[in-house]
Amino acid sequence: MIKYILKRLVYIIPILIGVNLLTFALFFVVNSPDEIARLHLGNKRVTQEQIYAWNEERGYNNPLFYNNSEKGLDAIQKTIFYEKSLKLFLFDFGVSDSGRDIKYDIQQRMWPSLAIALPSLIVGVLINITFALFFVFFRSTYVDYFGVIICVALMSISSLFYIIGGQYLISKLLHLVPISGYAHGYDAVKFLILPVIISVIYGIGSGTRWYRSLFLEEIEKDYVKTAKSKGLSESSVLFNHVFKNALIPILTGIVVILPLLFLGSLIVESFFGIPGLGSYTIDAIQSQDFAIVRAMVFLGTILYIVGLILTDISYTLVDPRVRLK
Amino acid sequence: MFVFLLTDLFFYIIILTLLSYILYVRKTPDLLETWSYVFKNKTGALSVLVLSFFMIIALSDSIHFKNKVYDENNKKYTYTSEISSLLDIILLPIHENSEKSYSSPFSSKLYSKETVKIDKDIDKRVYPKLKYKGNHNLYSEKNIQNIFITIIISFVKTLFICFIMYLIIFYKTLFKNFKKITTYFLRNKFIYLSFFIILLIFISLYDLSIQYYVLGTDKVGEDVLYKSIKSIRTGILIGTLTTIVMLPFAIFLGIFAGYIGGFVDDIIQYIYTTLNSIPSVLLIASAILMLQVYMANNPIDFENVYERADLRLFFLCMILGLTSWTGLCRLLRGESMKLREIEYVQASQTFGLSKVSIIIRHIIPNIMHIVIITVVLDFSALVLAEAVLSYVNIGVDPTTYSWGNMINAARLEMSREPIVWWSLFAAFLFMFILVLFANLFSDAVRDAFDPRANKNYE
């Protein structure tokens, strides 16, 4: 087990290097730092000195890979690649283009993101499983048929509609909770409740359908027929046998996204003005702060890979048949 | 004079591929059997019908010309740099003129008061009348009566069109075997009726919007219905072009990795795991941001506004395609690994068939169902994604008509007092219809093609 985890950890290194090279190519080779500086300072009437100063401040003036003017180790260290890309491996995210410490910002903004994402996930999964079991129980009846149609309709609505509609209905017409904003401590609840509800409703359509198909797949299997022919009731087969076995893919599906919860949801956070990592990313994209976007790409990749490893581990925990080699 | 934008050409390729696929299906009995399963399903047939209406609109919006203008000085026609499409010409009576600002659906007045001089000294705050539509009822002074009569007339028109189509389809057996036609007609009554209703909706919308702003006007007085219809092309392009871009990568690399295996497999696996590890929104955002910088710094390459917007749409599709081929590639790799071990492939190997011909003869036909299911499933997700990306300002060009841009422009209107809801409503409604039928279609396709689908329960 430990050997397996170690092996996986070694395996992620080439992937991280690949991602690193890719982002480096995207952000520094496709457009030179000069062009990015020009964009930030306004296209017209920018002098070379201004661009130089802007780059100097942010450390973009070094050469890309190899610094000829320095000697020894400095020749490699005083380059953009080392300063901006390799340092990410040490979780040194550096300073954003607007001069803030990215690492500090991320640490601060992680928790509000989690405060929305975690309750949405838990409540959402519970509700989706309940609906899915309900539809499966009434399978091949009109309940199931119309349930699936409603799910498809819910899936077909844009997430923006849920957010805009929810804000308008709950906050503006009914004045139940504030439209947007955030507070620390227990006050945060009134700001968090609407985004959580909306995220849950948005997920119902696809989630329920997905869980329903998992249950249906399980119900086709032979052991279910055996259980039924032994004379067990429909509901006891469903809850005691099918549900437990279908939990394996459900659980592992949840584990894989657990680490990504820290990243938060881009649009929900920005609509509700929650100072999480999602709105951080959006702000960075809109103000074209590439240092932050780069850091978030790297962070997202790491979290994704961590999720994959956790999934593998959780398989062995819930399903004794699986052995990791 | 015809103008071919980059996305137009790709859209023609898509249509041609679709048509040739249909021809191919008609010749291949087992494929025909599977597809007929889609059409026997009522929702499947209905969704094909609706989607083909959308496709026709998108196609007519993809045929572009340069406008001709009569030059008074030189006494001859010259071409302007303005580009309009076939759809623009069909819808000319709808979007020719625009009002000053907001007006609500079917209204005859502007949505906000203005100061109007009545006499020399007396100013009055009134809702000014709309200039072009809303006050020109064709059939009756009362609005409701007028709308009713217009719909009735459209109904008659639709009946007439359907009758003509009926004559064209059945002209051979029309007078010989009337009974046969009736039974045929009754057997397929659902699809004929749906066709009739959809056509009726289109024609009456057209007739109504000559007289009214059916979905109101936006901030600059443009007809919202026209904007929503123009956005269909963007939505469909993003849904289809992206998959066309990614398909060659996914199929080629997936089969290569699965069938050849070994060293090649390792490299391809590494590539798609790496791409897959980056959260897709962030990858798209980074790529689009870089594109924006590139376009801002090289304005000479993109002289024409249309070409610039078009190129950005094209690149957006490319980037979306680049981020979405990994999933399909992984599926195809697994499937071709499975196929490699199956007896008939092994047999052809012993007979000495080359690897290329085994791939063409045996592997590709047997993975096509996965490709079709994935393409159809991805379509609706991509249409929805466009709106979100446009909201984050990394979607299509702001000058392009798209539902995402409409929502982005209108989202502050909800906090306006009194609220302007119709722009948002229109964008969401059109998007909902397209995505809903795409989802229903993908369900039908999956049921027909997926060997594992629970046909008993669906």
The pLDDT tens digits of the residues spanning B277-302 come to 888 888 888 888 778 777 777 766 66
Which of B228, B271, B282, B300 is the best substitution to test chain A (most A C-beta atoms within 10 A)?
Answer: B282
Task: Find all residues with CB under 8 Å of B56, minimum gap 6, and list them.
Answer: none
* B318 close to A (CB below 8 A): no
Q: How confident is the model at residue B246 (pLDDT cuts 50, 70, 90)?
A: confident
> How much is the CA Rg of chain B, to the nearest whole Å?
26
* B391 close to A (CB below 8 A): yes
pLDDT of the residue at A177: 79
Cβ distance A19 to B277 less than 8 Å, yes or no, reads yes
H/E run at residue A109: helix A102-137
Give me the total of CB pairs closer than 8 Å, taking one residue from chain A and one from chain B.
Answer: 137
Task: Tell me how far apart the alpha carbons of residues B328 and B55 are, in angstroms, rounded to a whole number.
Answer: 24
Q: How confident is the model at residue B436 (pLDDT cuts 50, 70, 90)?
A: very high
Task: Find all residues with CB under 8 Å of B11, minimum gap 6, and list them.
Answer: B58, B59, B62, B237, B240, B241
* B439 close to A (CB below 8 A): yes
* B386 close to A (CB below 8 A): no
Lowest mean pLDDT among A234-243, B55-64, B90-99: B90-99
What is the distance, to the nearest Å, from the Cα of residue B322 to the centroid of all Cα atoms in its chain? 20
Closest to B233 measured CA to CA, from B2, B14, B3: B14
Is residue A25 scored above 70 in pLDDT? yes
Higher local confidence (pLDDT), A120 or B144: A120
The residue behind tokens 């047939």 is B45
Cβ neighbourhood burial of B58 (10 Å; 0-12, 13-18, 19+): buried
Task: Find all residues with CB under 8 Å of B58, minimum gap 6, and list them.
Answer: B11, B232, B233, B236, B237
Distance from CA of B149 to the nearest CA of A (A): 33
pLDDT of the residue at A77: 64
pLDDT of the residue at B457: 42
- Sign of torsion over alpha carbons A87, A91, A92, A96: positive
- Token output for A189: 């609840």
pLDDT of the residue at B458: 40
pLDDT of the residue at B7: 86
The pLDDT tens digits of the residues spanning B391-427 come to 887 888 888 889 988 888 887 777 777 788 888 889 9
Task: Tell me how far apart the alpha carbons of residues B350 and B174 are, in angstroms, rounded to a whole number.
Answer: 57
User: Which chain B residues are Cβ-neighbours of A224 within 8 angstroms?
Assistant: none
SS3 A181: coil
Task: Tell me how far apart the alpha carbons of residues A277 and A265 are, in angstroms, rounded to a whole number.
Answer: 8
For residue A83, the 8-state DSSP code is I
* B298 close to A (CB below 8 A): no
Q: What's the whole-number average pLDDT of chain B? A: 83
Mean pLDDT score, B303-321 = 83
For residue B69, the 8-state DSSP code is E
Q: What's the whole-number average pLDDT of chain A? A: 82
pLDDT of the residue at A71: 65
- Smallest Cβ–Cβ distance between A266 and the set B281, B297, B424 belongs to B281
Mean pLDDT score, B348-359 = 87
Task: Tell me how far apart the alpha carbons of residues B242 and B379 are, in angstroms, rounded to a whole number.
Answer: 9
Q: How confident is the model at residue A204 (pLDDT cuts 50, 70, 90)?
A: very high
Mean pLDDT score, A161-177 = 85
Mean pLDDT score, A168-193 = 81
pLDDT of the residue at B107: 76
Task: Tell me how far apart the alpha carbons of residues A181 and A192 are, in angstroms, rounded to a whole number.
Answer: 9
Cβ distance B436 to A152 less than 8 Å, yes or no, reads yes
Cβ distance B282 to A300 less than 8 Å, yes or no, reads yes
Distance from CA of B315 to the nearest CA of A (A): 14
Could you tell me which residues are beta bridge partners of residue B85?
B64
Is residue B455 scored above 60 in pLDDT? no
Mean pLDDT score, B239-264 = 87
Q: Do B113 and B126 meet the contact criterion of CB atoms below 8 Å apart?
A: yes
> How much is the CA Rg of chain A, to the nearest whole Å?
25
Distance from CA of B182 to the nearest CA of A (A): 31
Mean pLDDT score, B17-26 = 91
Q: How confident is the model at residue A65 (pLDDT cuts 50, 70, 90)?
A: low
* Among chain A residues, CA nearest to B389: A267
Cβ distance B287 to A26 less than 8 Å, yes or no, reads yes
Query: In chain B, which among 225-284 make CB contacts under 8 A with chain A?
Result: 270-271, 273-275, 277-279, 281-283
Higher local confidence (pLDDT), A282 or A52: A282
Mean pLDDT score, B33-61 = 89
Distance from CA of A268 to the nearest CA of B (A): 11
The values of phi and psi at residue A221, to 5°, are -75, 165
Distance from CA of B324 to the nearest CA of A (A): 16
For residue B109, the 8-state DSSP code is B
Higher local confidence (pLDDT), B3 or B240: B240
- Smallest Cβ–Cβ distance between A19 and the set B278, B281, B415 belongs to B278
User: Which chain A residues are Cβ-neighbours of B279 within 8 angstroms?
Assistant: 260, 263, 297, 300-301, 304
* B285 close to A (CB below 8 A): yes
Distance from CA of A72 to the nearest CA of B (A): 32
Task: Find all residues with CB under 8 Å of B306, minimum gap 6, and list them.
Answer: B5, B83
Cβ neighbourhood burial of B248 (10 Å; 0-12, 13-18, 19+): exposed
* Among chain B residues, CA nearest to A216: B454
Closest to A128 measured CA to CA, from A199, A202, A207, A195: A207
Distance from CA of B439 to the nearest CA of A (A): 7
pLDDT of the residue at B106: 78
Distance from CA of B15 to the nearest CA of A (A): 25
Q: How confident is the model at residue B456 (pLDDT cuts 50, 70, 90)?
A: very low
| Secondary structure tally for chain B: helices H, strands E | 17, 5
Cβ neighbourhood burial of B134 (10 Å; 0-12, 13-18, 19+): buried
- Token output for B420: 């302007």
Q: Do A277 and A262 meet the contact criterion of CB atoms below 8 Å apart?
A: yes
Q: Do A109 and A275 meet the contact criterion of CB atoms below 8 Å apart?
A: yes
Cβ distance A26 to B270 less than 8 Å, yes or no, reads no
- Smallest Cβ–Cβ distance between B296 and the set A15, A39, A172 belongs to A39
Cβ distance B270 to A220 less than 8 Å, yes or no, reads no
Which strand ranges, in their side-by-side order, compose the sheet holding B76-85?
B2-3, B64-71, B76-85
Higher local confidence (pLDDT), B151 or A63: B151
User: Which chain B residues are Cβ-neighbours of A21 within 8 angstroms?
Assistant: none
The pLDDT tens digits of the residues spanning B123-151 come to 777 777 777 777 777 777 777 888 888 88
pLDDT of the residue at B212: 80
pLDDT of the residue at A43: 61
pTM score, two decimals?
A: 0.89
- % of residues, chain A, pLDDT over 90: 10
User: Which chain A residues are Cβ-neighbours of B444 within 8 angstroms?
Assistant: none
The residue behind tokens 């996965």 is B370
Q: How confident is the model at residue A325 (pLDDT cuts 50, 70, 90)?
A: low
Mean pLDDT score, B90-114 = 78
Higher local confidence (pLDDT), B106 or A204: A204
Is residue A297 scored above 80 in pLDDT? yes
pLDDT of the residue at B20: 93
- Token output for B207: 């007739």
Cβ distance B297 to A39 less than 8 Å, yes or no, reads yes
Higher local confidence (pLDDT), B133 or B34: B34
**Tell me, which fold does domain B232-449 have in CATH?**
MetI-like fold (1.10.3720)
Task: Tell me how far apart the alpha carbons of residues A214 and A249 are, in angstroms, rounded to a whole number.
Answer: 8
Cβ neighbourhood burial of B16 (10 Å; 0-12, 13-18, 19+): exposed
* B392 close to A (CB below 8 A): yes
Q: How confident is the model at residue A44 (pLDDT cuts 50, 70, 90)?
A: low
Which of B300, B429, B432, B457 is the best substitution to test chain A (most A C-beta atoms within 10 A)?
Answer: B457
Which of A28, A88, A152 is the best substitution to test chain B (most B C-beta atoms within 10 A)?
Answer: A152
pLDDT of the residue at B338: 86
- Token output for A98: 């607007």
pLDDT of the residue at A323: 67
- % of residues, chain B, pLDDT over 90: 13
Mean pLDDT score, B295-319 = 77
Is residue A123 scored above 90 in pLDDT? yes
